[in-house]
Amino acid sequence: MSGRQLAGPRRRRPIQRRAQQTIDAILDGTVKVLKRAGGGGITTNRIAAAAGVSVGSLYQYFPDKRAIFAALHDRHVEQASRRIEAALVAHADAPLDGLVRALMEALMEAHASDPELYALLDRELPQGGAAARMLHERLRGALRLALAARPAKPGRDLEATLFVVAHMLDALAHGAILNRPPHLSLRAAREEALMAVTHYLQT
């Protein structure tokens, strides 16, 4: 992350690099405000202040407030998607069980990195569900590839299987991080969830 960049194309397009830094600062500022003041306390001026830029600059990079939230959602979706695809690639030719476990772990890690933030993103921001739906689509796409590449059990409806597996992975990973009952460890939750998915797929 550091030595490489100095060795490569030095100071190439510094403008765009600065722009990306400002964008990131704004998104991080949004997160800061979100955690500090909750969803009702988010204002563009506060975001700008927390990001260390002026409101004017904020509007240079985002057409309006919603766009900031959308970008924040996107950043999360992007991160999670990368994990999903990495799992997909790593287990391309391996048994399905391993892939399912890897996907479950990818989803959990995506939220576990900052559970508070993702809970807020979902609950406090309008359109919070959109990110979840988009991520769900990516997961479904990954699963479609994975299942299509393997011998299907006869008489099985791919769409139905996809529907069930994608929802199970999504809900169980999400729930394991954000909605786990007391007395149930994350590890136990994950193993039980994996068992459920695996058994279903083996049926």
Residues that bind its own copies (CB under 8 A): 39-40, 119, 122-124, 126-130, 133, 136, 140, 157, 159-164, 167-168, 170-172, 175-176, 179-181, 183-184, 188-189, 192-193, 195-196, 199-200, 203
Q: Is 75 exposed, middle or buried (0-12, 13-18, 19+ CB in 10 A)?
A: middle
41 binds DNA (CB under 7 A): yes
List the one residue out of 190, 135, 134, 196 whose CA is nearest residue 165.
196
Of the two residues 49 and 96, which places its CB atom closer to DNA in the complex? 49
77 contact choice in DNA, its own copies, none (CB below 5 to 8 Å, kind-dependent) = none
Of the two residues 45 and 113, which places its CB atom closer to DNA in the complex? 45
Q: Mask of contacts with DNA, 62-91, x by CB under 7 A?
A: --xx--------------------------
Rounded distance, CA 48 to CA 57, Å? Answer: 8
Which stretches of 38-185 are DSSP H helices?
A: 44-51, 55-61, 65-90, 96-112, 115-124, 128-148, 158-178
Report the interface residues with DNA, using CB under 7 A.
15, 18-19, 22, 40-45, 53-57, 59-60, 64-65
